[in-house]
Structure 1
Amino acid sequence: MIRKLTHGGNVVLAGFAAMILFMATLVYMCTRQRIDMSTDRYYEQELAFQSQINAAANTQQYAAQFSVRTEPGVVILQLPASLSGEIENANAVFYCKSDSRLDQQVSLQPNAGGEYRISTEKWSGKGKAFVAKIKFNSGGKSFYQELPVTIQ
């Protein structure tokens, strides 16, 4: 009986069935994987990308004065004091590469010292890596800076 089951054709057939089962499992796992785009308005933002490049170029002379650090429950952004006192349309987007549902956007108000304390108590994603994308206008110029941060 066992001799009939181990016939060469049956072994090939069993290997083929195992391969089909393995491929079906991989297809199922791929459909369950979450894939996020960096933004829902990708093409809209691509058209305005040159203005972001110009803003990043304006930021280069102040790059050493931008920083971000974390404490438990707080992210502290440090912007150049010379720019911070008269900022307009300022916001910081905390972009999570692994899950767009964790992204956070915070508006920044003018501050003479340039230090902004942002509470992260209600945020999901503690321990995850984020990119702080800071964008603002000051003195008639646009500024843009990206800084890596891990939320505690």
Structure 2
Amino acid sequence: MSDETIPCQRDPQLGSKIDEFSEILKTQSHKLNPFGMSEKDFYDSGIFEGSIQRVRGQISASMGEKKIFVKHVLNYMQDNNYIQDWVEAGGSNRHDYSVTLNNGKIAAIELKGCLDGNNTNISARPPHAHEFIVWSVCQNKGADPRHNVWSGIHTRFSADIIS
């Protein structure tokens, strides 16, 4: 995959700042410790790792802005007669949207983040879908979109495609 395939790229200055702040966070978090623990006890307690994972999970799970963006795109497509209709699939499904194309066929859409995580290939093409689309909307300003697309295709989707 060439660099022209994905025109977006990571901001190297932002990447450097993220790297620097991450190091400060790892080595200075005990100073934020509201529990009165020693530095060693704080890092041994699991509070730091658990908090990092909790914040990461909350950010990753946040679909609000992505869903608003997708609704605008799908509404635009419907208003301009590029598609007949669309509906949200609901939380019990392994896809996010069902779109009725102008020819009557159904396209199921699974909305994903940056394609570099374990949840990238957690989805399932529903039996009623003629097409299945994985749509990546990455909100992480520090992500490397070129790497993430490569990673998603080569290390996440390739096994599913082959099987």
Higher relative CO (Cα under 8 Å, sequence separation at least 6) belongs to 1
TM-score class, shorter: under 0.3
- Give the structure with the larger strand fraction: 1
- Give the structure with the larger helix fraction: 2
Structure 1-normalised TM-score?
Answer: 0.27
